Structure 1
């Protein structure tokens, strides 16, 4: 787990106006402006004629809605957004990272964005189906997130 402090304006642009994070599953979020807006990305399968295979919606389905809440002359009082690498992407991540790690053991690879009214942070996280001493997946995920920020021109400081 690492904590990145990205340059707020650039990162917010990538979160709300670019496709940078669109391929992530949106787990949940909360935006506080004049009211509190709470969202769950959990797909309600009974809503669909043909139920989706995925458990969570992708961020791209929520991005415009969140932008409509946040845009304006005043910044939000706070927000938090929780993303996870989409399940079908986890296998590719393990392969690309040359990790000999069972896909079935990985529950999630997370990005948690939090804005407290003055500072934006992004925290990485990993979750496994059982306790694991091996930190190679966590370290590779931390590196991958830093690469994602760097490749998209999102400046950040690494907090210790």
Structure 2
């Protein structure tokens, strides 16, 4: 687990809400506090669809506009938090590229927790496996991948203490 403190909130929010930067992440849950508290569960209600979609969670792409409509306005939200997860396809790609001794079925999630507290924006990584393991290689690779991704997207940050 690492924590990244974003240096430019406006740039990050533009990429989060107005671009496809995070669209391939799964949206696990979120909460936005403005004049009300809006809580969003990313779990797909498959009974709603005629043809059941694959996977259990919606992508950020599917919920980005809704979240933007809640956040936008003249006033900054009091706070928000979003929990993203790397998709199973991208998790499998990471495992393969780094030759890790894991199967995608072993991984509950590789998480990115985004938190705004009214003053600053922070992203914290997290790794959850379906069974206990002393092997921390996947966690280390995920913790290394997120800063590279942010650098690649021009999202300036400091490692938080």
**TM surpasses 0.5:** yes
2:29–2:82 CA contact under 8 A, matched in 1: yes
- Secondary structure (helix, strand or coil) at the match of 1:62 reads helix
Tell me the C-alpha RMSD between the 2 structures. Answer: 0.9
2: CA distance, partners of 1:57 / 1:22: 10
1: CA distance, partners of 2:28 / 2:104: 20
Mapped pair 1:72 → 2:67: no
1: CA distance, partners of 2:123 / 2:27: 15
Segment of structure 1 superposing worse, 146-155 or 3-12 = 3-12
Q: TM-score, normalised by structure 1?
A: 0.97
Alignment of 1:125-136 (within 5 A): 125-136=126-137
Segment of structure 1 superposing worse, 93-102 or 146-155 = 93-102
Aligned residue number for residue 86 of structure 1: 87
2: CA distance, partners of 1:77 / 1:33: 6
Aligned residue number for residue 142 of structure 1: 143
Aligned residue number for residue 102 of structure 2: 101
Aligned residue number for residue 115 of structure 1: 116
2: CA distance, partners of 1:145 / 1:98: 18
Mapped pair 1:51 → 2:76: no
1: CA distance, partners of 2:133 / 2:90: 21
Alpha-carbon distance, 1:153 to partner = 0.2
2: CA distance, partners of 1:128 / 1:8: 31
2: CA distance, partners of 1:103 / 1:117: 36
Alpha-carbon distance, 1:104 to partner = 2.0
Segment of structure 1 superposing worse, 84-93 or 74-83 = 84-93
Gaps of 5+ in 1: none
Q: TM-score, normalised by structure 2?
A: 0.96
Segment of structure 1 superposing worse, 7-16 or 39-48 = 7-16
Aligned length: 160
Alpha-carbon distance, 1:130 to partner = 1.1
